[in-house]
Amino acid sequence: MDAVIARVNRTSALWQLFASMGDLLVVSRDGSAHYYEEVPVDYVHDSEFGAEGSYFVITLEYGPNHDQHDPFDVSVGRIKQSDANNAEKGRYLHPVVRHFSARTLLSEHHVAENLENEWSGQTTHREPLRAFLARELGGREQRHVGAALAPARSIGVPALERSDDGYTHIRSAIPALTRQAICAGANAVPTIP
């Protein structure tokens, strides 16, 4: 859960390529989990990832018909940014987490929109996402308490790269966590298998 929140709060790729570029959390049949950054959403389903029994695609998306309304028109109805129960009705850019199994959509969770694009509120953002992941990872997967989330990585991008613009771009690693820690959030103690 912390890995997802951290990424949606700092990514530029998911922002600029909303709904078409996403992060990917693959939960393998052996219980291990891997987090991949900045993967084209269509590629996920057409690749070997799509054959996995459990994977989550994390995107930033606008709500339906967002482009049909002036964003500065206060007379247009909008949900409160603290309304996590109606997050799927949000029009503004917000994280969407979809759970798939073998290319079939199982469930979907919308993180409440935030006009400052800061999705880190405990009750509005973190707790609903934690509950969603706990529900989706429940059952059989919970027996894999030693399964670790592998460090984040981008497909085809090294962890540290120097670009033509002279800047060094760093892809930070997400600490190893058990699947239970993914669901538990910040209060969880990371374990290494």
Answer yes or no: is 112 within a domain.
yes
Does residue 37 belong to any structural domain of this protein? yes
Spatial CB neighbours of 35, under 8 Å, sequence gap ≥ 6? 3, 23, 24, 25, 26, 149, 150, 151, 152, 153, 174
Its pTM stands at 0.71
In this predicted structure, what is the pLDDT of residue 8? 96
Q: Does 192 reside within a domain?
A: no
The Cα 190–Cα 145 span in angstroms is 11
User: Which residues form the domain of 156?
Assistant: 2-187
Residue 193 lies in a domain: no
- Written as one string, the DSSP assignment of 120-165 is --IIIIIHHHHHHHHHHT-GGGGG-TT-BEEEEEETTB-SEEE-TT
pLDDT, position 21: 97
**Looking at residue 164, what is its pLDDT?**
54
pLDDT of the residue at 157: 32
Report the number of distinct structural domains present in the chain.
1
Residue with tokens 């917000």: 94
pLDDT score of 61: 96
Q: Which two tokens stand for residue 54?
A: 């459990």
149-154 β-sheet, strand order: 104-110, 94-101, 55-61, 21-27, 33-40, 149-154
| Rg of the chain taking only CA atoms, in angstroms | 17
pLDDT along the chain (193 residues), means of 10: 93 95 90 92 93 95 83 78 88 94 96 92 95 82 35 37 42 36 43 37
